[in-house]
């Protein structure tokens, strides 16, 4: 199997969690990596190089696509890094006959829903910024390649990936490293999937995303941010009109990139 964005925070965790369970692990990133086991096959590639991406996916049976720009940025950069990069990965998957691709989407495709509402993957997208827009496009590309070309695609709307929650919002949005790996393993191995979208978030008592779709992929999260609640600074009672995206949904968060 292959991991794009293998040098990133989530990519590094997935790499460590899977390397001893696969016969060959192709690691793709635009920064240099060093193989840490005989199973690892390292490729320094910019995902905008379609031919290089396709070549690296030769004889791969599954791809976890984590590469791209991870936060708000000017729209041209997001289109180039996230949308174009994802298209090149999906084209490589199609051309090489890869069995399954897992696309890293984001909880921020729905950041304008209020915290009082439980959001499911079937609800309309309400991105909280340009980054969220790029992830809506990533999901749309995945859907297109599943419907038109018969690829098996799973989109994971990843929560706040941290070793431990560090702010109040994380009590709802935290994704622990253990649960992140569990969700990805489930997305890689779930049988009979043409296209699926699921929220990847830990079993937080205060979560506002429905995780039933993730359970359908064969994984139920085990960690709960509530265990860390007493360590976090209080920020008052949650207002009914507060948005799930928190600060990400503020105008200034995007205006500085326009």
Task: Read off the pLDDT of residues 12-64 as tens digits, 9 standing for 90 and up.
Answer: 999 999 999 999 999 999 999 999 999 999 999 999 999 999 999 999 999 99
Identify whether the C-beta of residue 58 lies closer than 8 Å to the C-beta of residue 96: yes
CA 46 to chain centre: 19
Give me the chain's average pLDDT, please. Answer: 96
Task: Catalytic residue, from 113, 131, 199, 219: name it.
Answer: 131
pLDDT for position 234 = 76
Active site residue 199: no
Does residue 167 carry a pLDDT above 60?
yes
- For the stretch 185-234, pLDDT in tens is 999 999 999 999 999 999 999 999 999 999 999 999 999 999 999 999 87
Q: What is the CATH number of domain 2-255?
A: 3.40.50.720
Does residue 241 carry a pLDDT above 80?
no
Strands in 195-200's sheet, in edge-to-edge order, are 40-44, 25-29, 2-4, 62-65, 100-106, 153-158, 195-200
pLDDT for position 256 = 97
Burial (Cβ within 10 Å: 0-12, 13-18, ≥19) of residue 21: exposed
Does residue 66 carry a pLDDT above 80?
yes
């Amino acid at each position: 199997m292959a991991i794009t964005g293998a040098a990133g925070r989530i990519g590094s965790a997935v790499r460590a969690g899977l390397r001893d369970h696969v016969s060959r692990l192709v690691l793709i990133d635009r920064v240099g990596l060093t193989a840490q086991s005989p199973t690892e096959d390292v490729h320094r590639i910019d995902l905008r190089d379609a031919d290089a991406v396709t070549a690296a996916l030769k004889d791969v049976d599954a791809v976890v696509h984590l590469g791209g720009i991870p936060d708000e940025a000017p729209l041209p950069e997001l289109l180039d890094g996230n949308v174009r990069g994802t298209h090149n990965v999906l084209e490589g998957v199609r051309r090489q006959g890869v069995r399954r691709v897992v696309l890293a989407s984001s909880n921020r495709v729905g950041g304008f829903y209020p915290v009082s509402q439980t959001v499911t993957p079937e609800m309309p997208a309400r991105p909280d910024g340009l980054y969220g827009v790029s992830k809506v496009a990533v999901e749309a590309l995945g859907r297109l390649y599943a419907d038109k070309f018969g690829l098996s695609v799973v989109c994971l709307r990843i929560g706040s990936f941290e070793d431990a929650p560090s702010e109040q919002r994380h009590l709802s949005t935290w994704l622990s490293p253990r649960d992140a790996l569990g969700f990805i393993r489930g997305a890689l191995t779930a049988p009979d999937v043409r296209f699926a979208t699921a929220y990847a978030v830990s079993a937080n008592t205060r979560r506002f995303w429905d995780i039933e779709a993730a359970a359908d992929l064969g994984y139920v999260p085990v960690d709960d941010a509530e265990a860390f609640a007493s360590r976090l600074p209080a920020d008052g009672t949650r207002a009914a009109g507060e948005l799930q995206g928190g600060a990400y949904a503020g105008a200034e968060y995007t205006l500085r990139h326009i």
